[in-house]
Structure 1
Amino acid sequence: MKGRVICLDHLGGREAAALMVDGVLDDLLIAPDAPMPGTIYCAKAQRPAKGQGGVFLDSPAGRLFLRQAKGIAPGQMLKVQVTGFAEPGKAIPVTTRLLFKSRYAIVTPGAPGLNVSRAIRDEDRAEDLRALAHEATEGTHGLILRSACEAAEDAEIADDILAMEALAGEVLAAQDAMAELHAGDGPHVCAWRDWTAPAEVATAAGSFEDYGVLDALDALQSPRVALTGGADMFVETTRAMTTVDVNTGADTSFAAGTKANIAALRALPAALRLRGLGGQVVVDLAPMPKKDRKTVESVIKAALRAETIETTLAGWTPLGHLELQRARVRVPTLPLLPEG
């Protein structure tokens, strides 16, 4: 099936959203048990955690960890926002830099200024958007206009700005008592907010089955990812890291290793995204001449530029493995999938 389809459905009682591109699963969001990124709490600071460069906080969701302790006194009440998911047994990561994010606008209290997404290359449209923002906002907070504004109706953008500013004002005005001040967006809202390219939207129950999402999820449960030219890679997780093993398959030509590695690194961001994997990623590439390292580096850098989840290319190990560091903004997908 050609084209883009956004499916809004449920999996095992969990809200879920899937993005299918030309019949292939491109992205997947499933509601976890943990607080969603974007959730805002008023939390109470404990003593700074010596040697850990931060401070633990008490909240209605349990322990939080703020990687910033300077100027924070024990017992101080702070408004903080969840930035990602914690590994089992660890505190939820948070920040004091609150963001109020929607489809067209991001309101940034404490960071004044007006910015338009650099993806909007039409200067006339960018200027129109700046004028619209000045009319729609009082300038109390900082504002970022997202790339989806380029093709949107001005009235929709203005409404979005006002809604996010109102939410920011409500949260900032809340009393300093331990509480959840705002719940992070669930999969359906995140799909509307972030998957902004033109697409058919399927909201009927059973859309995952109708559009092939369930079949893609069955394939996702295998660590093997098929690549072009008969090569493959295996994506597997340990407690410490995610490992990726690249194989050339039946190809025994001189360039087989380089070709398999290029195919693997192009497919790697999607493989990690669909599995909800973050943290340290170690790629055991197929054998190739050392002179080809620059080529494969350029391939993974290009693949990561199109990725919305922050991923840093750390470099090469002495054993020739390629290391990446990826933000933990999702929980692992496989434990969330219903059995059977």
Structure 2
Amino acid sequence: MTHRAIHLGTIKGREAAALVVDGVLQDLLIDAGDEAVRPGAIYRGVVDRPMKGQGGVFVRLPDGSGFLRQASGLRPGQAILVQVTGAAEDGKAAPVTTRLLFKSRFCIVTPGAPGLNVSRRITESGVREHLTGLAQVAMTGAEEDLGLIVRSACAEGDEHEIAEDIAATRALAEAVLADTSGKPELLVDGPGPHDTAWRDWTDLAPDEVTEDAFGPQGVLDMVDAVLTAHVPLTGGGSMVIEPTRALVAVDVNTGNDTTPAAGLKANVAAARDLPRQLRLRGLGGQVVVDFAPMVKRDRATLDQVLRAAFKGEAAETSLVGWTGLGLYELVRKRDRVALVEALK
């Protein structure tokens, strides 16, 4: 049986949360510090200068600036509501959007996207119908353009807790949407690691939750392993992950295996572990993989493995494909600060 453990604590004085499944570190969240703009934070900003040729505008925030790609119909000096969608690179504006999402453990309120939807992970028809009715009651009287997504955690949740959670999230959304006038201001802060763990990792009830026990639980050793470039793979192969200013370079090696299938075996193992490694390291942007040598006909098999591996990733990922030199390219959204930066 799968054993899911959530460990809450601190690393180098910063709040942190770790998700460990069957003894393997699956996700790691570390607070980037008080000076950082947290993903998920909602601001009232002011439209600044447009960026010609890039189809976007800068948005003035209380302690910096954001970059908004949806610039159509906006004018300089206009106050708008924006939400931070990812981590800002050093010296760059934080990416923001005007499509706000209000996320809680049991629901997501979606302004501008009306309708009631139940998570596809809830498959039992009776449960879906019951949750739909519950959501309809909780959203009675809401603005027409206010939508709701019932999250998968509701499948095991208490009915009263779900109703209260939806009501509270709806009230927060309505209050923020009405607060559109004034100077740049932080309206809703982004969640910290502990809050995010409670919100996003408990859709399946954890078997274990610990606090301030990173050392005894071996989490610190797992983090140290992630900080190294070299990643051992099942079967004896390995990969080396090295972020540069322009891209993330990944090199896959077969190790001592000299059999004809060595390249494909190492590549499949690397493809299956690559999403986890990028997630734990907080790496995004352009990723270029130099897979181990293999015959060209095996690329179709590897493509299938890559699609399956990245299918469940929360961070938006585009699998671009093979280059003329036989490298594989993908683009992953920067949804958090890089682990190395967070631990500075």
TM range (shorter): over 0.9
Contact 1:116 1:144 survives alignment (8 Å): yes
Match for residue 198 of structure 1?
Answer: 205
Q: What are the residue-to-residue correspondences of 1:52-131 with 2, within 5 Å?
A: 52-131=54-133
Aligned match of 2:293 in 257, 282, 287?
287
Q: What are the residue-to-residue correspondences of 1:19-30 with 2, within 5 Å?
A: 19-30=19-30
Q: What are the residue-to-residue correspondences of 1:208-247 with 2, within 5 Å?
A: 208-247=214-253
Q: State the SS of the aligned residue for 2:57.
A: strand
Structure 2: gaps (5+ residues): none
Q: What are the residue-to-residue correspondences of 1:1-340 with 2, within 5 Å?
A: 3-33=3-33, 34-138=36-140, 139-140=142-143, 141-177=146-182, 178-196=184-202, 197-205=204-212, 207-337=213-343
Distance 2:301 2:115 in 1: 39
Backbone CA RMSD of aligned residues: 1.3
Tell me the CA shift for residue 203 of structure 1. 4.1
Counterpart AA for 1:131: G
Per-residue displacement from partner, 1:275-317 (whole Å, max 9, x unpaired)? 0001111000000000000000000100111222211100111
Distance 1:225 1:133 in 2: 45
Counterpart AA for 2:234: T
Distance 1:65 1:153 in 2: 40
Tell me the CA shift for residue 61 of structure 1. 2.6
Distance 2:45 2:210 in 1: 37
TM-score scaled by structure 1? 0.96
Q: State the SS of the aligned residue for 1:328.
A: coil
Q: What stretches of structure 1 move > 6 A for 4+ residues in a row?
A: none
Structure 1: gaps (5+ residues): none
Contact 1:2 1:23 survives alignment (8 Å): no
Counterpart AA for 2:285: G
Tell me the CA shift for residue 2 of structure 1. 6.9
Per-residue displacement from partner, 1:153-205 (whole Å, max 9, x unpaired)? 11111111011101111211225112111101110010011102221443432
TM-score scaled by structure 2? 0.95
Counterpart AA for 2:331: Q
May I ask how many residue pairs the two structures share in their alignment?
A: 337
